[in-house]
Amino acid sequence: MKITVVGTGYVGLVTGACLADMGNHVVCLDVDERKIRVLNEGGIPIHEPGLDVVVKRNVAAGRLQFTTDVAASVAHGTLQFIAVGTPPDEDGSADLQYVLAAARNIGRLATDYKLVIDKSTVPVGTADKVQAAIDDELGKRGLDLAFSVASNPEFLKEGAAVEDFMRPDRIVVGVSDERAANLLRAIYAPFQRTRDKLVVMDLRSAELTKYAANAMLATRISFMNELALLAEKMGADIELVRQGIGSDPRIGYHFLYAGCGYGGSCFPKDVKALIRTASDQGQDLKVLQAVEDANDHQKTVLTRKVLARFGQDLSGRRFALWGLAFKPNTDDMREATSRVVIDELLARGATVTAYDPVATEEAKRIFGDEPRITYAQGPMEALEGAEALLIITEWKEFRSPDFDRLKTALKQPVVFDGRNLYEPALMRDFGIEYHAIGRSV
Ligand code: UGA
């Protein structure tokens, strides 16, 4: 089928590449000429495992093209996916200007039936606005063209996006007519060979499903983070508690890891946006507000431990940081805990040497030429002469380091682990002073 994807961010690019891989002819549109040039030259502007292979394969097969030409992209796809950014505006609600601009382009230029699909995370009610924008543009042209609007939220995790797209748990599709439902059934058929994973519903329920999923996951994390703080006070171990409750199938093991707070482009933004949507309806989402407050607090858990250990004034002290990205397998630092930690350490007079396998360039972009931050080439190099180590991201290569080397490289063998990577008893045996999250046993 002929498909257009508007927006070549990680959602758009993964969607376009994976749909092309199933034999569709996909055109990806972006306003960013540099990005399109990079893609056309075979480069991938984001770090996403496996994506380069899928993109290259489909570009070579002539099924995947990139363009900045709006008219050509509208003319191309019967299905028009909108996967542009919806950054939060000042009050926390999602900014829809790019989504609606994409919809208007379709209404302004379409000459035959189009199915317009919201893939961006958009507030409940956005499909109505997309519909109105297209209607308005068609009206200006005096055209009575048939079109459908659908909502097809994505549940991709950064770092596992290709895998998530290729083998989804479920595919949520919100529609208001059968023609749209049938087209979406057809393009998603190859992704659900073993069982029917398509959940077809109305537009508003699909839009709310996306926020409900992320808000529920964020709630689990904040709940565990609060319990971890309590566990520390009570002499209990949150890791054992996690296993104890996760074994209940009604609870399950996923997303129960206490840590130094959740980040990324989705949870913080979606939690805020849902709170805002509810308050516009005169409803207070008390649980979700607490989830957000608890997470803001959790991002300071490591520096609070550092201050308790080294005192309020950290001048003259240098700290090593492992991990800058908001989670492993990505260079994304949006809302990353590392940013809160670094800001606080610098504000207290300390300096920082950071190591991250892929996010160093992104950190340099964010912190500019801040002289108090240096970047190491490897994890051990970051430790040399540092006061203590802070672990922010659970990259695989941090899971089993040479503890003897770690101990001698640091000025003092002190580790603040924001991701509970090691067993406290083992750290004791190595003679390392170990501060984990919720593990005081
Ligand atoms: C999240 C959802 O997991 C995806 O299903 C969704 O599609 C995506 O948002 C989105 O809306 O686009 P993502 O933000 O890529 O995906 O990352 P996650 O793997 O969910 O991790 C989010 C944050 O939670 C990370 O900072 C991670 O360290 C933290 N986390 C996760 C914990 O602190 N504890 C856990 O047990 C799990």
Ligand 1 atom 25, closest CA: 262
* 46 pLDDT tier (thresholds 50, 70, 90): confident
Reported confidence tier of residue 441, pLDDT bands at 50, 70, 90 = low
Query: Domain 299-435 sits in which CATH superfamily?
Result: NAD(P)-binding Rossmann-like Domain (3.40.50.720)
Which pLDDT band holds residue 137 (cuts at 50, 70, 90)?
Answer: very high
Catalytic site residue from 18, 28, 260, 266: 266
What integer is the mean pLDDT of 218-242?
A: 97
Tokens at 354, concatenated: 């950071």
Cα 155-105-166 angle, rounded to 5 deg: 25
Q: Which atom of ligand 1 is nearest to the CA of 256?
A: 36
In sequence order, what DSSP letters do the residues of 160-225 get, joined into one string?
Answer: SHHHHHHS-S-EEEE-SSHHHHHHHHHHHGGG-SSS--EEEE-HHHHHHHHHHHHHHHHHHHHHHH
- Helix residue ranges, H only, 313-378: 337-347, 360-367
Q: According to the CATH classification, is domain 2-200 in 3.40.50.720?
A: yes
pLDDT in tens, 98-116: 999 999 999 999 999 999 9
Return d(Cα 34, Cα 409) in angstroms, integer.
43
Q: Which pLDDT does position 158 carry in this prediction?
A: 86
Nearest Cα to 263, choosing from 334, 160, 361, 362? 334
- pLDDT, tens digit (0-9, with 9 covering 90-100), for 242-288: 999 999 999 999 999 999 999 998 999 999 999 999 999 999 999 99
User: Residue 320 phi/psi, 5° resolution?
Assistant: -95, 140
Please spell the DSSP secondary structure of 11-41, one letter per residue.
HHHHHHHHHHHTT-EEEEE-S-HHHHHHHHT
> 327: Cβ below 6 Å to ligand 1?
yes
User: In sequence order, what are the residues at sequence separation of 6 or more whose Cβ sits closer than 8 angstroms to the Cβ of residue 104?
Assistant: 133, 134, 136, 137
Atom 3, ligand 1: which residue's CA is nearest? 157
201 neighbors 174 (Cβ within 8 angstroms):
yes
28 is catalytic: no
- CATH superfamily for 211-296 is N-(1-d-carboxylethyl)-l-norvaline Dehydrogenase; domain 2 (1.10.1040.10)
For residue 257, give the ligand 1 atom closest to its CA. 36
Closest CA relative to residue 202, chosen from 124, 280, 116, 106: 124
Which tens digit of pLDDT belongs to each residue from 381-432? 999 999 999 999 999 999 999 999 999 999 999 999 999 999 999 999 999 9
Q: What percent of the chain has pLDDT over 90?
A: 92
- Cα–Cα distance measured from residue 353 to residue 321, given in angstroms and rounded to the nearest whole number: 6
Task: Examine the pLDDT at 90 and tell me if it is beyond 90.
Answer: no
CATH 1.10.1040.10 domain locations along the chain: 211-296
Q: Is the pLDDT of residue 86 over 90?
A: no
* CB of 48 shorter than 6 A to ligand 1: no
Does ligand 1 come within 6 angstroms of the Cβ of 10? no
Over residues 13-44, the pLDDT tens digits come to 999 999 999 999 999 999 999 999 999 887 89
d(CA 210, CA 121): 7
Where, residue-wise, is CATH 3.40.50.720 in the chain?
A: 2-200, 299-435
* Smallest CA separation from ligand 1 atom 16, residue: 157
Specify the pLDDT at position 406: 97
Q: What is the DSSP string of 228-260?
A: HHHHHHHT-BHHHHHHHHHTSTTT-STT----S
pLDDT digits 0-9 by tens, 295-342:
999 999 999 999 999 999 999 999 999 999 999 999 999 999 999 999
**Strands of 79-82's sheet, edge to edge?**
64-67, 25-29, 2-6, 79-82, 114-118, 147-151, 171-174, 198-201
Phi (first) and psi of residue 159, to 5 degrees:
90, -20
Buried b (16+ CB within 10 A) or exposed e, 25-43: bbbbbbeeeebbeebeeee
- What is the position in ligand 1's atom list of the atom closest to the CA of 225? 33
Q: Rounded to whole angstroms, how far apart are CA atoms 232 and 280?
A: 38
Q: Does 92 have pLDDT greater than 80?
A: no
Q: What's the average model confidence in pLDDT over 152-172?
A: 94
Residue 299 DSSP code: T
Q: Give the predicted TM-score (pTM) of the model.
A: 0.92
